[in-house]
Structure 1
Amino acid sequence: MVHVAATPRLEVGDKAPTFSLSDADGNTVRLADFKGRKVIVYFYPAASTPGCTKQACDFRDSLSELNDAGLDVVGISPDKPEKLAKFRDKEGLTFPLLSDPDREVLTAWGAFGEKTMYGKTVQGVIRSTFVVDEKGKIAAAQYNVRATGHVAKLRRDLSV
């Protein structure tokens, strides 16, 4: 068994690791594209699974309030763009879903590594949400978030 060292976790005040990833349509989306706005960057294990669908739909349903408060939303998973496009179209998602098949961005953000699932320790995506401020710094870092009720809690935390 290969042991992978624990991924470093980001903390409030850290500079957000940059990224440049393909969206569901194969277009490149960069963290720099959001400069001057706050952006919620959330990492999820797999498109079209029950928890990830619930979470994505919660973000979709809250998007206008989040946007009005100056917050954009971006979801990142290891899924290929084709799978993301199906997920987006099926659920009517209106924010970018980005593909990180090499898990490099997930790892840089501390959202990939050891986690406990059904009592076993496995390597995988750690469901995580970050708020990046207008200057590209981490304003909030939440690891091991629950898929259900998470967006409502985030909105309370951000007073949106």
Structure 2
Amino acid sequence: MALNIGDKAPDFELVDTDLKMRKLGEFKGKKVVLSFFVAASSPVCETELCTFRDSWDEISKLGAQVVAISNDGPFANKAFAEKHNLGFPVLGDYTSRTIRDYDILMPDLLHVKDYNAAKRSVFVIMEDGTIGYKWVSEDPLKEPNYSEIKGFLKGN
């Protein structure tokens, strides 16, 4: 079932790059820029997460926390995060459960049977745990509108 603005964001418990389990609830009281990306080390994902990295100070000053999620495992995510000096949590949803909970599963990526991934998506979860902003792309090569996301954070 598709999630809409105003809906309660599904909680999750996913592994980070240090094999620590992380929950959405631990960020309660802050806005969370939840960035679902397609695959660690893929070119568009590198651009997207490096853009969030480079905007980190501005996003933090707006009272928000970036959290990135893909269906990659913690070791691929760790190599990816270290290579690009990502200072925010990069979580692995290797079962695609959270990706399904957010209704953004992209089956058969690049026409490879059963290679499931997340659609490139950004949700801004508000301090009360509801979805305040949603962007989902059917095109894995399309980047989010970073200015729009920062504008949303500034206006709320």
Alpha-carbon distance in 2 for matches of 1:139, 1:150:
15
**Which residue identity lines up with residue 157 of structure 1 in the other structure?**
F
Residues 84-95 of structure 1 aligned to structure 2 (within 5 Å) = 84-95=77-88
Alpha-carbon distance in 2 for matches of 1:115, 1:150:
25
Q: CA deviation at 1:84?
A: 0.6
**2:145 alignment counterpart:** 150
- Check conservation: 1:74, 1:97, Cα contact below 8 A: yes
Give the number of equivalent residue pairs: 150
User: In the alignment, which of 29, 33, 49 is matched to residue 36 of structure 1?
Assistant: 29
**1:10 alignment counterpart:** 3
TM-score using structure 1 length: 0.85
Q: Answer yes or no: is 1:63 the counterpart of 2:49.
A: no
When residues 82 and 124 of structure 1 are mapped into structure 2, their CA distance, relative to the original with a 3 A threshold, is closer
- Check conservation: 1:19, 1:30, Cα contact below 8 A: yes
- Check conservation: 1:18, 1:31, Cα contact below 8 A: yes
Q: Which runs of 5+ in 2 are unaligned?
A: none
Residues 41-120 of structure 1 aligned to structure 2 (within 5 Å) = 41-113=34-106
Identity of aligned residues (%): 33
Range 11-20 or range 136-145, more displaced? 136-145
SS in 2 for 1:48: coil
Higher strand share: 1
**2:15 alignment counterpart:** 22
- Check conservation: 1:54, 1:147, Cα contact below 8 A: no
